[in-house]
Amino acid sequence: MLGEVAMQYKIGIYPDRLGVLIGKKGAVKKRIEELTGTKLEIDSKSSTVTIIGDDLNSMLTAQNIVKAINYGFSPEKAFKLLDPDYTLHIIDVFTYLRKRDENNLKRVMGRIIGEKGKAKRILEETTGTDISIYRNYVAAIGLFEDILVLDEAVRKLIKGLPHRVVYEYLYNTRSMRKMGLRKW
């Protein structure tokens, strides 16, 4: 598994996500290690994970899986990142707000989720991505082209554009892509 030249990468993880990363009897941690050929050392006191490996691609894959779990994805969805065509994209909504306070953040996150999760569901269905909304982050797993469309739609919602306008953008973009035309 690990050869002579081992590399290390440390990543912080939210304490409430440690249990998900480890899994029942360490099953998730063990699966990440087996599928990526890396070793994970988890320090629950400092809430850090050290990824150890000898192959850069495997380490990046393990890092992205750990990050995805950290940003609210289930391990099953995070394991989609084993496919090299899939990517993880994280939007820190707080950085895009003009008025940076908790109430405004909650309002904007509510716009992204929508009533009874409708906006999030439409975002996922029209872009073919999986989305996690956790703390002040919108994280997505999907193909790069789909991530670009999702990113633009989320930014439009953050700016305050009406949902109708954002949905039109999503449906039009999807239609154009199905016809072989590209529009981002």
Together in a domain, 115 and 166: yes
Instruction: Specify the pLDDT at position 183.
Output: 52
CATH code, domain with 20? 3.30.1370.10
The model's pLDDT over 50-96, given as tens digits with 9 standing for 90+, comes to 999 999 999 999 999 999 999 999 999 999 999 999 999 999 999 99
Instruction: Specify the pLDDT at position 58.
Output: 97
Instruction: Specify the pLDDT at position 6.
Output: 87
The model's pLDDT over 150-183, given as tens digits with 9 standing for 90+, comes to 999 999 999 999 999 999 999 999 998 888 766 5
Together in a domain, 135 and 101: yes
CA distance 64 to 58: 10
Together in a domain, 65 and 96: no
Domain that holds residue 53: 7-73
Q: Cβ(63)–Cβ(11) under 8 Å? A: yes
Closest CA to 129 of 119, 116, 144: 144
Together in a domain, 168 and 118: yes
